[in-house]
């Protein structure tokens, strides 16, 4: 049966996917995570140049993490629990507009643009990224998924540092698989610490990307949005 690859989820063709007509975050029930956690650590990669495209991505007008409200509330609970042990989350991407995904696809078709190969896909030919790693529809566009890592802070909850996970974000390689065999025991243990913290609040990891988590009880699992992040 034909499937659509949703960056972490396969949705069968008989499960209709609808593009919402919503034009604002409020209409899509998307909230800024900072309304719940004003000082959460963020480095929204697609709003700047430090990503696999090498440029700001269509639809990212501001470096913000938007999520469906109940998903944002669940993520806030994860952060609250982590802070009790001087740990924190750091967010790289959350809701992703459909137009951003289209930008990814155009980039993948442009084989002349190899600027980010050394950093993001050193062992792959760019021609294999489309389909295996980059799909025309992303689960991020539903507002229920976040890409993130974990930080360890000092005893006062300050001077936080990212845990060593073995690869950086959007590293297209088998080493990014959550249970990849060719990372150190400590790097694997750090991935499992992140996964355990997220699973306690109902988030499920995509096994091929240690940073990718989707809330299991998504509010609109078959609706994607194209509201700009602003």
Two structure tokens written together for 74 = 């669940």
Among 127, 140, 131, 134, smallest CA distance to 214 is for 140
CA torsion sign for 200, 67, 215, 57 is negative
Q: Which of 42, 201, 209, 218 is catalytic?
A: 209
- Give DSSP secondary structure letters for 101-123: HHHHHHHHH-TT--TTHHHH-TT
Question: Nearest 5°: CA angle at 150, between 145 and 154?
Answer: 150
Cα distance between residue 21 and residue 112, in whole Å: 35
Cα distance between residue 53 and residue 48, in whole Å: 10
Whether 209 is catalytic is: yes
Cα distance between residue 169 and residue 190, in whole Å: 15
111 φψ region: left (φ > 0), alpha (ψ -120 to 50), beta (else): alpha
CA 68 vs CA 111, 140, 220: distances in Å: 35, 11, 9
Two structure tokens written together for 178 = 């959550």
Cite the active site residues: 209
């Amino acid at each position: 049966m034909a499937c659509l690859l949703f960056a972490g989820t396969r949705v069968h063709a008989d499960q209709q996917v609808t593009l919402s007509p919503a034009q604002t975050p409020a209409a899509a029930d998307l909230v800024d995570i900072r309304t719940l956690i004003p000082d959460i650590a963020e480095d929204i990669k697609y709003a700047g140049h430090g990503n696999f495209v090498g440029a700001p991505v269509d639809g990212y007008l501001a470096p913000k993490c938007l999520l469906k409200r109940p998903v944002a509330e669940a993520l806030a609970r994860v952060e609250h629990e982590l802070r009790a042990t001087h740990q924190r989350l750091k967010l790289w991407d959350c809701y992703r507009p459909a137009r951003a995904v289209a930008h990814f696809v155009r980039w993948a078709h442009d084989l002349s643009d190899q600027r980010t190969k050394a950093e993001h896909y050193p062992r792959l030919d760019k021609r294999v990224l489309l389909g295996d790693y980059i799909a025309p529809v992303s689960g991020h566009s539903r507002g229920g998924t976040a890409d993130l890592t974990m930080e360890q802070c000092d005893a006062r909850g300050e001077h936080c540092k990212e845990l060593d996970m073995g690869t950086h974000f959007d590293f297209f390689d088998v080493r990014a698989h959550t249970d990849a065999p060719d990372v150190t025991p400590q790097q694997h243990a750090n991935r499992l610490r992140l996964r355990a913290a997220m699973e306690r609040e109902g988030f499920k990891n995509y096994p091929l990307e240690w940073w990718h988590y989707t809330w299991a009880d998504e509010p609109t699992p078959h609706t994607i949005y194209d509201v700009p992040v602003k």
